[in-house]
Amino acid sequence: MSDNNKDFARKFAGLFHEAPSEETPIYSELQHITQRYHFVETVATGGMKTITKVFDQSTSRHVAMAELLPDIDSTFNELFLKEARLTALLEHPNIISIHDIGVNEDARPFFTMDLKEGNSLQDILRRLKQQDQHYVNAYPLHELLSIFLKVCDAVSFAHSRGIIHLDLKPANIQVGRFGEVLVCDWGLGKILNQHETQDFEEILLNTDLLNHVTQRNSVMGTPGYMAPEQTEKGHSLDDSSDIFALGCILYSLLCLKAPFSGSTEEVLEKTRKGEIIKPDNDLGRLIPESLIAVVNRAMKSDKNQRYSSVGQIKLDVQKYLSGFSTEAEEASLMKELHLLIKRNKAEALTCMAALIIIFSLCFYFIGALKAQVDVAKNETTKAEEAAHNLQIEKDKSDQLLQESQDLLKRLTQNFLSESELNSKTFIYEYPLKSLNKTLNNARELLKIDPENTNARHHLIFSLFLMQRFDELNALPFQEYKVLRELSKKYVDAPRDPIGLIKVNSLANLIADLRNKFKYDYSVALRLIAYDNKVRGNANYYSQAVVEILKMINPSWDKKGFNYSYREQRLVISSKSIEFLKSPEYYASGKTPVSFLNIVSLKITGTSIKDISELDGLKISILDISYSDIINLDKLYKIRSLKKLIIHKGQFPQKQIKKIKESINVEII
């Protein structure tokens, strides 16, 4: 610290400290500290948190403090603290250090860490691309590779502790003025072979929170530096995901740009396909083929073909810096000889002179023997060529067979993944696009593999949900007897001009589905989702909604359900109604009531106990007086709510005070 900075620190501390004792100044100073951290300035503000420079009175130094932004939901407190705990586990010279973790007086979590000085690697690459001469002189290729090796040391250390980063990129690497290299932002880090990340994954599957987080670009990683397995749900993540990101960073060091370009969706698709931008030296920079080979191996789409550890990619880069060939490039004998000569120029010149003399002496004798050898060699060559050609033809045939089998396997896997996502998730937001895509994929796959049971399953379900019963009845296979019987029953049902069966027929169809097979609720909900999207009118689904609610409330006699589409009001008053959506794991979590056009909901007299049954409803008025609901913790999930009606004594005053000020609470 400079003298000016030290003087400033002493003056700043004096504003908050009483005069210390002359005999024990430090002890006395610590006794009088009432507020440890004092704000100095804001350093950066990201998607979820803000970083400020604060003065730590206990240690008399400046540190960086991270806090969640005020508008971030408290649900993310645990994730925020998880980042701090995870980073604190990693004590390494190239990983940023955590000093303190706590909760401030506003009940917001915070943690303090080293105050980073210098530039991020991203800033350095940007300046190099702009041909900033100071940065060009300060960061030649060997200096950038030295930084990369330190990043490898940090990541390798984390992996040895069973921790992966999952968001490695130049922006998360800090380079100091004196050669310090720090790997930062371990917020997406994961501890391998432990279950403590389960809550994080469950939060990512929550629709409201996911929308909130992805808008801030703070979940799942950074497009352009994420491994293919990070771009889709359901894939296991391990050390190889970080190795892919290290390959992306090495590419950026060589080419001064990210390995993928385009919109976010295009970058993710190119990542899955491995379509890396071809390296070029349009800036006049040296791009060694040896290091490009390292990049290509580290960024393999199949993680089993990547380096098996960070130590291996580091060793290959060190080999390049030492003048040796890298393992990834599989150098030819000539390349190895060239590198050997380059490393040992003096010795190579001596050997070259000796070889010239030796070859000159041997040339005469070789010429004499060559004629005799050629005769025997020609005969041997003819036999070998015949055998070789036969083997080539066999290898080609085997290769074509294997490629065909691999292609069919990949098509099947891609179809299943996309169809499951469309039919279970996207159908509720984009039913037309999802079902048409699944239907087309199923038909294409059946052309290749007519016996594929998964393709048949998706074809039958898609036609049933789209009410194309005539096409379903014409299929040559006999799976799903229940759906086929219902298709035959309703194939001649009256239809509206848009091609859908009448709304009352839809309600009867849902009633016929009930208790016929395990997933009756899920199929009924998708039926009404598609019908609602095509029909575009939510005022006529009350009877269909009643039939679906009957599936999850089997003892209900269908009474006590009064819906007025003119008043946009729904009153449910039957004690037999306990659920508004299915509690089963395979259900979507969506309530059928959401398909009615309502702004007011009254559930007085029902057996509904959990207010989360109302998740996703866009209502302004909610009457839960004289109901079984006793907890309002999840009321915030009904985002559009303006008025809440309860009865006197229904909830403790402490709970009522927690309700947002924007919600008018009426007590009757």
Structure confidence at residue 418 as a pLDDT band (50, 70, 90): low
Question: Residue 241: which of 227, 223, 224 has the closest Cα?
Answer: 227
Q: What is the pLDDT of residue 332?
A: 64
Answer for the pair 566, 543: CB distance below 8 angstroms, yes or no. no
Query: Half-sphere exposure of 249 toward its Cβ, with a 13 Å CA cutoff?
Result: 32
Q: What is the pLDDT of residue 210?
A: 31
Residue linked to tokens 């299929």: 475
Answer for the pair 250, 152: CB distance below 8 angstroms, yes or no. no
Amino acid at 372: Q
Q: Which two tokens stand for residue 499?
A: 């091609």
Average pLDDT over residues 566-581: 94
Answer for the pair 181, 150: CB distance below 8 angstroms, yes or no. yes
Domain-by-domain residue ranges, the chain? Answer: 3-113, 119-340
Separation between Cα atoms, residue 620 and residue 641, nearest integer Å: 4
Q: With pLDDT > 70 as the criterion, what percentage of the chain qualifies? A: 83
Structure confidence at residue 110 as a pLDDT band (50, 70, 90): very high
Q: What is the pLDDT of residue 585?
A: 59
Q: What is the pLDDT of residues 232-289, one digit of tens each?
A: 887 888 999 999 999 999 999 999 999 998 999 999 999 999 999 888 877 778 889 9
Answer for the pair 472, 460: CB distance below 8 angstroms, yes or no. yes
Phi-psi region of 518 (alpha: psi -120 to 50; beta: other; left: phi over 0): alpha
Q: Is the pLDDT of residue 520 over 50?
A: yes
Query: Half-sphere exposure of 229 toward its Cβ, with a 13 Å CA cutoff?
Result: 20
Separation between Cα atoms, residue 173 and residue 181, nearest integer Å: 7
Q: Is the pLDDT of residue 459 over 60?
A: yes
Q: What is the pLDDT of residue 403?
A: 66
Q: Which two tokens stand for residue 371?
A: 């004629």
Amino acid at 325: S
Higher-pLDDT residue of 621, 587: 621
Q: Is the pLDDT of residue 455 over 80?
A: yes
Ranges of H-type helices in 344-480: 345-424, 431-448, 453-465, 469-473
Amino acid at 225: Y
How does strand 643-646 pair with strand 664-667? Answer: parallel
Residue 387 Cα to chain centre, angstroms:
52
Separation between Cα atoms, residue 446 and residue 438, nearest integer Å: 12
CB atoms within 10 A of CB 352: 10
Residue linked to tokens 């530096």: 225
Q: What is the pLDDT of residue 478?
A: 82
Ranges of H-type helices in 100-189: 121-129, 133-138, 141-160
Backbone angles phi, psi at 305, to 5 degrees: -95, -5
Separation between Cα atoms, residue 93 and residue 149, nearest integer Å: 13
592 DSSP assignment: G
Structure confidence at residue 348 as a pLDDT band (50, 70, 90): low
Q: What is the pLDDT of residue 21?
A: 52
Q: What is the pLDDT of residue 207?
A: 29
Q: What is the 3-state secondary structure (H, E, C) of 279-341?
A: CCCCCCCCCCHHHHHHHHHHCCCCHHHCCCCHHHHHHHHHHHHCCCCCCCCCCCHHHHHHHHH
Q: What is the pLDDT of residue 629?
A: 92
Q: What is the pLDDT of residue 335?
A: 63
Mean pLDDT, the chain, as a whole number? 83
Higher-pLDDT residue of 221, 146: 146
Separation between Cα atoms, residue 179 and residue 558, nearest integer Å: 74
- Classify residue 246 by burial, with Cβ atoms within 10 Å: 0-12, 13-18, 19+: buried
Average pLDDT over residues 67-87: 86
Structure confidence at residue 219 as a pLDDT band (50, 70, 90): very low
Q: What is the pLDDT of residues 192-215, one digit of tens each?
A: 866 444 444 433 333 233 333 333
Q: What is the pLDDT of residue 114?
A: 87
Q: What is the pLDDT of residue 196?
A: 44
Backbone angles phi, psi at 519, to 5 degrees: -100, 35
Residue 83 three-state SS: helix
Cα–Cα distances (Å) from 545 to 403, 502, 571, in that order, read 50, 15, 13
Separation between Cα atoms, residue 534 and residue 430, nearest integer Å: 11
Q: Is the pLDDT of residue 633 over 80?
A: yes
Average pLDDT over residues 140-159: 94
Angle between helical axes of 503-513 and 481-490 (0-180°, round to 10): 150
The domain over range 119-340 is classified in CATH as 1.10.510.10: yes
Q: Angle at CA 429, nearest 5°, toward 428 and 435?
A: 70
Q: What is the pLDDT of residue 16?
A: 47
**Sign of the C-alpha dihedral computed for residues 53, 57, 61 and 65 taken in this order:** negative
Separation between Cα atoms, residue 460 and residue 442, nearest integer Å: 9
Residue 260 three-state SS: coil
Rg, the chain, Cα only: 34
Q: What is the pLDDT of residue 393?
A: 77
Q: What is the pLDDT of residue 345?
A: 67
Q: What is the pLDDT of residue 590?
A: 86
Higher-pLDDT residue of 584, 522: 522
Structure confidence at residue 151 as a pLDDT band (50, 70, 90): very high
Amino acid at 451: E
Q: What is the pLDDT of residues 354-402, one digit of tens each?
A: 677 777 777 767 776 777 767 777 877 787 787 788 888 777 777 776 7
Question: Residue 188: which of 160, 219, 212, 217 has the closest Cα?
Answer: 219
Q: Is the pLDDT of residue 56 over 80?
A: yes
Size of the chain, expressed as the number of residues it contains: 668
pTM beyond 0.95: no
DSSP-assigned states of every residue in 462-527 = HHHHTT-HHHHHT-S----HHHHHHHHHHTTS-B-TTSPBPHHHHHHHHHHHTTTSTTHHHHHHHH
Q: What is the pLDDT of residues 553-568, one digit of tens each?
A: 999 999 999 999 999 9
DSSP-assigned states of every residue in 228-284 = GGGSSTT----HHHHHHHHHHHHHHHHHSS-S--SSHHHHHHHHHHT-PPPP--TT-
Q: What is the pLDDT of residue 158?
A: 93
At the topology level, CATH places domain 3-113 in Phosphorylase Kinase; domain 1 (3.30.200)
- Listed in sequence order, the residues at least 6 apart from 562 whose beta carbon sits closer than 8 Å to its beta carbon are 570, 571, 572, 573
Q: Is the pLDDT of residue 465 over 60?
A: yes
- Listed in sequence order, the residues at least 6 apart from 143 whose beta carbon sits closer than 8 Å to its beta carbon are none
Answer for the pair 668, 648: CB distance below 8 angstroms, yes or no. yes
Q: What is the pLDDT of residue 558?
A: 94
Q: What is the pLDDT of residues 469-512, one digit of tens each?
A: 999 999 988 888 899 999 999 999 999 989 999 999 999 999 99
Q: What is the pLDDT of residue 200?
A: 41
Q: What is the pLDDT of residues 309-347, one digit of tens each?
A: 999 999 999 999 888 888 877 666 666 666 666 665 666
- Listed in sequence order, the residues at least 6 apart from 410 whose beta carbon sits closer than 8 Å to its beta carbon are none
Average pLDDT over residues 591-606: 94
